[in-house]
Structure 1
Amino acid sequence: MDIQSLAKDIPSQGEQSLEGIEFINNAEQYLTFVLGNEQFAIDILCVEEIRNWERPTQIPNSPNYVKGVINMRGIIVPIIDLRMKFGIGQCTYTVTTVVVVLTIEVEHKSKVIGFVVDAVSDVLNAEADDIKKAPAFGGSIPPEFITGLVNQDTNVVTLLTPEALYKIEKHQIDGCNQ
Structure 2
Amino acid sequence: MNLPVNSKPPLKVDAAEAQTEEDQYLTFTLQQEMFAIGILNIKEILEYGQLTTVPLMPDFIRGVINLRGAVVPVIDLGARFGGCQSEITKRTCIVIIEVACDGEHQDLGVVVDTVSEVLEIPENNIQPAPTFGTHIRADFIEKMGKVNGKFVIILDVNKVLSVEEMASVSQIAEASVD
TM range (shorter): 0.7 to 0.9
Give the counterpart of 2:99 among 89, 100, 104: 104
Q: Separation in 2 of the partners of 1:69 and 1:77?
A: 5
Structure 2: gaps (5+ residues): 1-16, 171-178
Output the amino acid matched with 1:148: K
Larger radius of gyration, structure 1 or 2? Answer: 1
Identify the residue that residue 160 of structure 2 maps to in structure 1.
165
Deviation at 1:112, TM superposition (A): 0.3
Identify the residue that residue 143 of structure 1 maps to in structure 2.
138
Q: Once the two structures are superposed, what CA deviation does each residue of 1:135-157 show, in whole Å capped at 9, x if it has no partner? A: 11153311221111011113210
Output the amino acid matched with 1:102: I
Which of 1 and 2 has higher RCO (CA within 8 Å, sep 6+)?
A: 1
8 Å CA contact retained: 2:121, 2:147? no
Identify the residue that residue 62 of structure 2 maps to in structure 1.
67
Q: After the TM superposition, which residues 4-15 of structure 1 pair with which residues of structure 2 at under 5 Å, given as runs?
A: none
Higher mean C-alpha deviation, range 132-141 or range 47-56? 132-141
8 Å CA contact retained: 1:36, 1:89? no
Identify the residue that residue 34 of structure 2 maps to in structure 1.
39
Give the counterpart of 1:53 among 48, 51, 54: 48
Between the two proteins, the alignment pairs up a number of residues equal to 148
TM-score (norm 1): 0.76
What RMSD in Å do the two structures reach over aligned CA positions? 2.0
Deviation at 1:87, TM superposition (A): 3.5
Structure 1: gaps (5+ residues): 1-23, 172-178
TM-score (norm 2): 0.76
Deviation at 1:107, TM superposition (A): 2.2
2:76 is the counterpart of 1:81: yes
Deviation at 1:108, TM superposition (A): 1.2
